[in-house]
Amino acid sequence: MGLSIKSVPALPAQTAFFARLRGHLPAHLSLVDEVADVLQLSTDSTYRRLRGETALSLDEATRLAQHFQLPLTDLLTSPSESVTFQRMSINAQPGGISDYLRYTASYFGQAAAANAHISYAAKDIPAIYHFLFPELARFKVFFWLKTIKTVEAFSNLRYAAQHIPNEVIAAGAAAAEQYLRMPTVEIWNDETVNSTLRQIEYYHDAGLYEQPADVPRLLDTLEALVQHIQRQAIAGRTLRHNLEVAPYQLYFNEILLLDNTILTAAEGHDRVLVSYNGMDYLHTTDASFCTEVKQWMRVQTEKSTLISQVSEKERNRFFNKIYARIEEQRRKLRQGHRAP
């Protein structure tokens, strides 16, 4: 009588979990080696877990999830119906903005190291650009903390540049350095610059500047930022310290109100950031969600006009409308100063 050998049933949730881990791993690294290192296991023991022959303990699953920054809930949910997000948020403390910007720099640094491409549907001017212009960055950070996040330490303050520490601007500049390293597609529309213009005007009308002379300087700096974007569009490259860095495409969309969604796409390393609460983001590497957003971005570029390197007439028309709005704000400001 022969012996029958029962095969050990694989663990489907565990197998799926390791598949997700593999998707988070740069192509040049070995999943076996990484898991063995994290769990301090032999290669043979690691293979048994990867094949689903040995169940992961809760402690092992937790250690792997933390190391790969993959939520444990991915073990429990159906990827077709649910998406797991992590968040990047500004804590309601004055120092929270520095942590947020350092995290952002790390996020874009990892994406750049993975040779990612960025697609950005810009409802507002991409926040990263403000940090190329420190005076405007200080205003935007003050506005975010006082008016959006209502941080208590700012509640009785009016805007002045000295209220924002240099370390905040340095952290934002480091994030900008990483962002500009990557090939970038940005989709703008007629409203993209308007929120910053309205914020500058709102603080003026509400008497929230310590020095009224800051208002024309902020408008000048905003115009300089727009000129920077225009130079990028002409060159078809991102610019840092007047040096061309990475391929850049700018699209003008006439029909859609955009939503500040960001896609960083790399081989096996896609991630989507979705904005909420003004400056906070939810982000995910869920493959089906990333694929859906990638398709949406593709459709939006097809329905938009490329105004970088080509379409000089459309590009000039787009930027001239922005400059006209800035000049209109200057005119209103001058009229206000002449009022009795």
Q: Which of 19, 46, 22 is nearest to 35 (CA)?
A: 46
Grade residue 77 by pLDDT with cuts at 50, 70 and 90: low
Domain with CATH 1.10.260 in the chain: 12-75
Q: Give the global pTM.
A: 0.77
pLDDT of residue 2: 45
Q: Which residues have a Cβ under 8 Å from the Cβ of 290 and sit 6 or more positions away?
A: 263, 265, 270, 271, 272, 284
CA 323 to chain centre: 26
CB atoms within 10 A of CB 169: 21
Tell me how far apart the alpha carbons of residues 64 and 22 are, in angstroms, rounded to a whole number: 12
Kindly report, residue by residue over 155-190, the tens digit of the pLDDT.
999 999 999 999 999 999 999 999 999 999 999 999
CB atoms within 10 A of CB 10: 11
Kindly report, residue by residue over 247-297, the tens digit of the pLDDT.
999 999 988 778 899 999 998 788 999 988 878 899 888 888 999 999 999
Tell me how far apart the alpha carbons of residues 321 and 222 are, in angstroms, rounded to a whole number: 14
Tell me how far apart the alpha carbons of residues 28 and 260 are, in angstroms, rounded to a whole number: 32
Domain 12-75 has CATH 1.10.260: yes
Q: Is 204 helix (H, G, I), strand (E, B) or coil?
A: helix
**What is the pLDDT averaged over residues 75-87?**
66
pLDDT of residue 339: 43
* 148 DSSP 8-state letter: I
Q: Which of 162, 158, 164 is nearest to 96 (CA)?
A: 164
Q: Is 263 helix (H, G, I), strand (E, B) or coil?
A: strand
